[in-house]
């Protein structure tokens, strides 16, 4: 009986020893899996960081390129706005001048008799022909000035 108890205890000790060994093997296997998974996680995080960094760099480059491309257009828009404003002012001034001329013409028309119409028409024609002569003379003078400048440059 005692021998049988020892044998049973011995078998139980053996079984417990195997369970302990198996528990150690499982613990080692789980440790290895843990280390492998931690390495995989570190690699994934690193790849994610690299991906974010690349995305940020590309985004920054794209933003800079966009800014460089939009600057000329913004300058053109600003210039266009200033030109439009200048044209509006010119139109306003020309309208005011036209009103002034119309007022003067109306005043002149009120003071003109039937005989004065022909005299004014004759005066306008003379003034017009004088203006054409002066324009021709100005063109000749400009041509002479340009010719002289060209001679000075080449000579």
Query: What are the distances in angstroms from CA 3 to CA 8, 12, 13, 35?
Result: 9, 14, 15, 47
112 secondary structure, DSSP code: -
Task: Write out the two tokens for 140.
Answer: 């000749």
**How far is Cα 98 from Cα 89, in angstroms, rounded to an integer?**
14
Q: Please write the tens of the pLDDT for every residue from 110-126.
A: 766 666 777 777 888 88
Q: Which long-range contacts (CB under 8 A, 24 or more apart) does 42-46 make?
A: none
Task: Please tell me the predicted confidence (pLDDT) of residue 113.
Answer: 64
Whether the pLDDT of residue 59 is over 90: the answer is: yes
The domain segmentation of the chain, as residue ranges, is 2-111, 113-155
- How far is C-alpha 141 from the geometric centre of its chain's CA atoms? 48
Q: Which two tokens stand for residue 37?
A: 């998974």
pLDDT at 151: 81
Residue range 62-84, pLDDT digits in tens: 999 999 989 988 888 898 889 88
How many percent of the chain have pLDDT more than 70? 96
pTM for this predicted structure = 0.40
């Amino acid at each position: 009986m005692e021998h049988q108890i020892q044998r049973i205890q011995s078998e139980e000790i053996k079984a417990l020893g195997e369970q302990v060994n198996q528990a150690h093997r499982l613990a080692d296997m789980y440790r290895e899996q843990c280390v492998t998974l931690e390495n995989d996680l570190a690699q994934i995080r690193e790849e994610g960081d690299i991906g974010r960094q690349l995305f940020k760099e590309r985004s920054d480059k794209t933003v800079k390129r966009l800014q460089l491309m939009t600057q000329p257009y913004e300058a053109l828009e600003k210039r266009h706005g200033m030109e439009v404003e200048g044209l509006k002012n010119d139109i306003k001034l020309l309208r005011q001048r036209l009103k002034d001329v119309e007022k003067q013409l109306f005043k002149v028309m009120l003071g003109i008799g039937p005989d004065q119409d022909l005299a004014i028409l004759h005066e306008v024609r003379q003034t017009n022909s004088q203006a054409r002569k002066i324009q021709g003379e100005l063109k000749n003078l400009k041509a002479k000035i340009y010719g002289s400048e060209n001679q000075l440059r080449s000579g």
